Amino acid sequence: MNIVILDGYAANPGDLSWDELKTLGECTIYERTPREKIMERAEHAEIILTNKTPIDAEAMDVLLNLKYIGVLATGYNIVDVQAAKERGIVVTNIPAYSTDSVAQMVFAHLLNICQQVQHHSEEVRKGRWSQSPDFCFWDTPLIELAGKRIGLVGLGHTGMRTARLAIAFGMEVCAYTSKTSLQLPPEIKKMELDELFAQCDVVSLHCPLTPETRGMVDARRLALMKPTAILINTGRGPLVNEQDLADALNAGRIYAAGLDVLGEEPPSPNNALLSAKNCYITPHIAWASEAARERLMRIALDNVKAFIEGKPMNVVNK
């Protein structure tokens, strides 16, 4: 098998190994591939692994040897799956590899906003504690999570793991989900979407990006939220109308936002959220713990092996 990895750097910047994959065939690994190089680099590929390098119908028409596309992520919108199905090309993804890491990032953002650990640590380094007339000081609100209500938009693997963490913190958990109330554990209350935005102290997004969810967090929904509310997005950037969120933060209509994803990545320097008040942004790293990437690499390898053996798994274009 001729295997080409188009953009392997994000999943494996050098701390993991592709060696086992290399035993399955002739394997060429590129750290990154610009669009204009896709055809040239994958010309003879029977198997392509890609993370964010797009494979569209036009590429498939040129890559005549292509039989399999393995997406090195859970989301697979970078591949035209319908075009692949029509051409008999199998497309797989990597489900649920980063559940624990993403749920952990939800609370990393939430705890940072509530406790301002980085800010106060920096102030100590500046000498403010040494100069304090009291045994302690703080200059931001310090927020206790116990008793607060968190609303989860989506209750798949990551949403449910986040719910369990929230319960451990003593939070009341609500969810907007396709699951029925009878399918939910008693600690989780089902809510309609607008009700959730209006009543919860924290709203955390865990739903897929679809035509229906794109831009779902807009000026109207943000206006429903409490002025003390916090928005967390570790899901997909385009779930949020970024200008509307920046406006709401700057006007104090909501208290803060913690974001690990944006609509354009890397963001334009003039993205309104980069300078918005109380907006804390991390560079799409919730998925990227070493443990999560090890799982990703293992599942990617198992996907390729299963395909070669004629028993493909995690197929997204059946």
Q: How far apart are CA 109 and CA 143, in angstroms?
A: 13
Contact in structure between 179 and 160 (CB atoms under 8 Å): no
**What is the reported pTM?**
0.94
Tell me whether residue 265 is one of the annotated catalytic residues: yes
Q: List b or e across 129-141, with b for residues whose CB sees 16 or more CB atoms inside 10 angstroms.
A: eeeeeeeeeeeee
In Å, how far are 17, 41, 67, 180 from 298, measured between CA atoms?
Answer: 10, 24, 21, 34
Tell me whether residue 236 is one of the annotated catalytic residues: yes
Q: What is the pLDDT of residue 224?
A: 98
Q: In this predicted model, what pLDDT tens digit does every residue of 258-302 receive, in sequence order?
A: 999 999 999 999 999 999 999 999 999 999 999 999 999 999 999
Q: How far apart are CA 29 and CA 39, in angstroms?
A: 15
Q: What is the dihedral of CA 159, 164, 165, 171, to 10 degrees?
A: 100
CA-based R_g, the chain, Å: 22
Helix, strand, or coil here: 71?
strand
Which listed residue (20, 58, 122, 265) is catalytic? 265
In Å, how far are 90, 92, 156, 296, 316 from 312, measured between CA atoms?
Answer: 8, 8, 23, 16, 10
Q: How far apart are CA 177 and CA 184, in angstroms?
A: 10
Name the superfamily (CATH) of residues 99-281.
NAD(P)-binding Rossmann-like Domain (3.40.50.720)
Which listed residue (41, 284, 294, 298) is catalytic? 284
Which listed residue (120, 236, 293, 295) is catalytic? 236
Please report, for the chain, the start and end positions of each structural domain, with discontinuous segments joined by +. 2-96+290-308, 99-281
Helix, strand, or coil here: 119?
helix
Choose which CATH entry (3.40.50.720, 3.40.50.1820, 3.10.270.10, 3.30.530.20) describes domain 2-96+290-308. 3.40.50.720
Q: How far apart are CA 10 and CA 293, in angstroms?
A: 9
Tell me whether residue 86 is one of the annotated catalytic residues: no
Q: With bands split at pLDDT 50, 70 and 90, how would you rate the model's confidence at 124?
A: very high
Which tokens is 246 given? Answer: 């920046």
Q: What is the pLDDT of residue 178?
A: 95
Q: How far apart are CA 88 and CA 164, in angstroms?
A: 41
Q: In this predicted model, what pLDDT tens digit does every residue of 134-192 receive, in sequence order?
A: 999 999 999 999 999 999 999 999 999 999 999 999 999 999 999 999 999 999 999 99
Q: What is the mean pLDDT of the chain?
A: 97
Q: Which amino acid is it at 181?
A: S
Fold match flag (2-96+290-308 vs 99-281):
yes
